[in-house]
Structure 1
Amino acid sequence: MVKRKLTILLMSGIILLTTSCASILTGSKRKVLFESDPSGAKVFVNGFEKGKTPVQIKVAADDQVDFRLDDFRERVVIMDSKFNLVAILNGFSIIGWGVDALTGSLKRVDTKYVKVTLEKDDKTAFLNYMENGQLT
């Protein structure tokens, strides 16, 4: 009788500890290295400035990352994501699947490195030509 209660208690503890496995084990964000050519571009994640390239930032699945540099066109990257296989450890736990879904841990950023090439802004080149008589 005592052994059975101990087994039930132990199994209940294991079930509670393994709920929301993806949230606990991997989290909803991943560190990604961002670079640009030319370097020094400001990096914005969902509208908030996070630094200048090259920079390593934690981002979540489907975050919008903007690269801005004077005299260059703005580049926008949406972070690709894939299913987080660690979530399978939730098994039949509806609570675990729910927690992982609410925290965004069911999807995981698919890359660790992003490099963008920024193009000269035609408007700036035209304005420089009008002001200085030269194309840059």
Structure 2
Amino acid sequence: MKNLRLLPSVVILITFTSCATLFAPNTRALAVSSQPAGADVYVNGFKMGATPIELQLTPDKSYNIEFRLEGHESVTRVVNTKVGGGWIVLDVLGGLIPIVVDAATGAWNKLDQDSVNAALVKSGGQ
């Protein structure tokens, strides 16, 4: 009898939420490396550390990853987002509301790459 009282709450929870919002991680790992190692890593202008480093980034926006090392020219890489196809399939099976929720929250997004690498070139003919 107790379980029957919870049934409406469970149905409402499933109906008004979506797969990616419930199950997708809030951050994604991005492995960042350079040749030579030890380059300072800037993400959207903020220093995050030196290579090699693993960054935890939210998958709902794009990032400019800049590598800086004294005596070398800086290198910039762009990491974009893309929609995870598996989430779309699950949302479509769940109906219109899960699609709207995941699209609005960006929960079904993921980074378009798992790692970024830069080969730094010495500057000034060194």
- Taking structure 1 as the reference length, the TM-score comes to 0.70
Take 1:23 and 1:13, find their aligned partners in 2: how far apart are those partners? 12
How far did 1:6 drift?
Answer: 6.0
Partner residue, 1:86: 87
How far did 1:37 drift?
Answer: 0.2
* Residues 27-78 of structure 1: per-residue CA shift (max 9 Å, x gap): 3531011100010011111111111000000123421111111111111111
How far did 1:108 drift?
Answer: 0.7
Partner residue, 2:45: 47
Partner residue, 1:66: 66
Task: Say whether the 8 Å CA contact 2:73–2:123 is kept in structure 1.
Answer: yes
The higher radius of gyration belongs to: 1
How far did 1:14 drift?
Answer: 2.5
Query: Of the candidates 27, 30, 33, which is equivalent to residue 29 of structure 1?
Result: 27
Higher relative contact order (CA 8 A, sep 6+): 2
Structure 2 residue runs of 5 or longer lacking an equivalent are none
Give the RMSD, CA atoms, in angstroms: 2.6
Structure 1 residue runs of 5 or longer lacking an equivalent are 126-135
- Percent of aligned positions with the same letter in both sequences? 29
Task: Say whether the 8 Å CA contact 1:20–1:87 is kept in structure 2.
Answer: no
Task: Say whether the 8 Å CA contact 1:42–1:69 is kept in structure 2.
Answer: yes
Q: Please identify, of 99-108 and 74-83, the stretch whose mean Cα deviation from structure 2 is larger.
A: 99-108
- Taking structure 2 as the reference length, the TM-score comes to 0.74
